Structures are given as structure tokens and as C-alpha cells.
Amino acid sequence: MHSPIPTLMWQGDVDGQLVLLDQTQLPGALVFLECTNADEVWIAIQELQVRGAPAIGIAAAYGVCLGAQAALDTEIEAMQSRVLQVCDYLATSRPTAVNLFWALERMKQVAQRAGSSRPRQRASELLAEARAIHSEDAQMCAAIGQHGAELFSDLPKGSGILTHCNAGALATGGEGTALAVLFELARRGQQPKVWVDETRPLLQGARLTTWELMQREIDCTLICDNMAAQVMQAGAVQVVITGADRIAANGDSANKIGTYSLAVLAHAHGIPFYIAAPTSTFDPAIATGNEIPIEHRSGREIVQGFGKAIAPEDVPVYNPAFDVTPASLIAGIITERGVISQPTTERIANLL
């Protein structure tokens, strides 16, 4: 029996701490990181020690609780302004995953609501909200798994499913999004054969997704990103499923760099390309993918990703962390509320 992966854990009560599984150390070592203030959470998000859109949102919500600890023995007004300030600060950690802003908005609303006038009581309400964000995400993952498995119930046993980056338990408060679908298919006996893109430059597929799949004894094969076309051409891929970091009102979806090229390849080979994401990943305020802020990261991640120089140190580097797949290339978005086939602004608005 597979034991759950402890991606994020809150230990204690309002004066407790956040424990993160440091994903930069995987798969080599299981290292746990104890965060006792909002700065440490900001750094953990920025440095990808915790990563994946839903997990970033959950970590930030707990980060707000840590930030609030500094105002436990003040007045309620001081507590409120402290929380709003910490929310604004944590919002600067990474720009693309909308789950971060969605979770911080929920925390701000709790901080500002009328009611208790005691800072400790307000801190306990904030912790309850962070815990709710965490457990709701686990439930959304489970529902995504069910809807996805229903959608693919007719796939022949042993079908090839290709995924990119890591949209599993490490990226969420539950079993994941794209990987939750694979886990549920495996539980239903469909024996998916999973192709895992290594996901340059930081190798979330190679380091994290294979690790999760192998723990669950799911058949998986690692490929370099530039092998996907060849594997598709060989007829070994029946479906592509990835996660998302932000989905615009019209269905254009930002996900880890390389997702767009996979969608183009899938289209060229007549293979359906699906996104799996909770409704917290939708950003109805953004009409199209053109408006999604794309994070650009340090060139060092490419030139010296894991310590060894693989290019001249001073070479100019272009390193966007995400790309946007147009809705026209997406066969469907699997959410906790059901599947939006061939997403359009109207279909998405109806579901939301």
C-alpha cells in the first residue's frame, strides 16, 4: 500500500510551524524543511523547494499564519495590517500560478472580516482557513482523478499516456491533478503506460514524477523532452495530460515550459491533449493567455542547473518557466466539477 507523500504539513496550533518536503533534494534525499516565518516560506516558493500551482497556494496560506505570529500579542488592527502586508509580500514570490493569489485573497478576507477583536482568535481563524485551503485541494484532486478516469474509461489497457513536469502529490495538497488521473486509472486496473518528459531545465518530470509513479509501481518510462515527437510518431502515446498554472477565461492555459510544444505535437499526430486542474487554477479576470504573467528565471538554471557548467558561464540565456497553450489545442480540461470539452469562454463560465 502506498503511503501519502508529506508535501506540506502544519505542526502545532497558531504558534506552530510549516514543514515542507524539500523538492530540490528529490529523488536523492528526503529532507524536511521547517519554516518558522514568512521569509522562509517566500524563499521556499521562489527556490522551488515547494512547487506546483496548488502547493504554492497552500504553502503561502500557511506562510500568512507564520507572518501573523509576530502580531499575536498586539491589537486587532495591528494584526490585520500585518496580515495584509505579509500577503502582499508572499504574492511577490512567483508570478504565474494563480493559485498563489487565490489563496492569499482568501487569507486577506479572513483577516479583514468583522467579528473577533482578539488577535489570537483571528490567528486561529487564519490557520483554519489555511487548513481548509489544504484539505479542499486534496478533495479537488480526488474528484479530478475520478472525472479523468471516467473520461478515459474506454482507453484500452496499457495505453500510453504522456505527461510533462510534475502535477502529482508533490504539487498539491492531495494526489495531484494530471497524476491523480493516472493513479485512479491504475487503481481501476487500466495499467497506464506513462511516458514522462524529463522537463528541462529543472527536471521536475525526471526527478519528481518518475519518483511518484515508481513509488506506486506504475509503469513509467523517462524521456528527454525532445523525444516526445518520436514516441508519438511510433504510436506509443494515446493521450497527453498535463497540469496548469493559470487558465484564462477562454481556456488558454499556462503550464511548465515545453507544454505548448507538446500540445502542438499532439495535434500533429492526432492525439488528444488534456489539462487537469482545479477551479482554483482558473483566472476569469484574464480574457486570454496573452495576459498571463510568465515568470522568467535565472539563466544559471540552464547554464549550471545542478552545479556543473554545461555552457559558457557568460552566454546569454532565455529562461521562461512557463508557456501558454492556446485553448484551440486543448481537447478538454478535467476539473473537480467535471470535464470541459473543447474549452471556450462560454463553457468555462458555465462550469465556474
- Binding residues for ligand MRU, rule: CB under 6 A, are 48, 51-54, 97, 165, 167, 171-172, 176-177, 204, 242-245, 255-256, 321
CB of 54 to ligand MRU, least distance (A): 6
Ramachandran class of 120: left when φ > 0, alpha when ψ lies in -120 to 50, beta otherwise: alpha
DSSP 57-103: HHHHHHHHHHHHGGGTTS-HHHHHHHHHHHHHHHTTS-SS-HHHHHH
Question: Which of 137, 197, 245, 252 is the catalytic position?
Answer: 245
Q: Check residue 114 and report its DSSP letter.
A: S
- Give kind and range of the element (H or E) at residue 345: helix 345-351
Question: What is the end-to-end Cα distance of the chain in Å, rounded?
Answer: 35
Q: Is 218 helix (H, G, I), strand (E, B) or coil?
A: coil
* Cell numbers representing residue 236 in the block: 506509443
Q: Which residue has the cell 534525499?
A: 29
> What is the smallest separation between the CB atom of 139 and ligand MRU, expressed in angstroms?
14
User: Which residue's Cβ has the minimum distance to ligand MRU?
Assistant: 243
What burial letters (b/e) apply to 3-24, b meaning 16+ CB within 10 Å? eebebbebeeebebbbbbbbbb
Q: Which is nearer to ligand MRU, 80 or 242 (CB)?
A: 242
Whose Cβ is closer to ligand MRU: residue 110's or residue 195's? 195
**Shortest distance, position 169 Cβ to ligand MRU, whole Å:** 9
From the CB of 179, what's the least distance to ligand MRU, in Å? 8
Rank residues 82 and 101 by Cβ distance to ligand MRU and give the closer one: 101
Q: Which is nearer to ligand MRU, 111 or 144 (CB)?
A: 144
CB of 240 to ligand MRU, least distance (A): 12
Give yes or no: 245 in active site: yes
Task: Report the residue number, 14 or 244, with the smaller CB distance to ligand MRU.
Answer: 244
Active site residues: 245
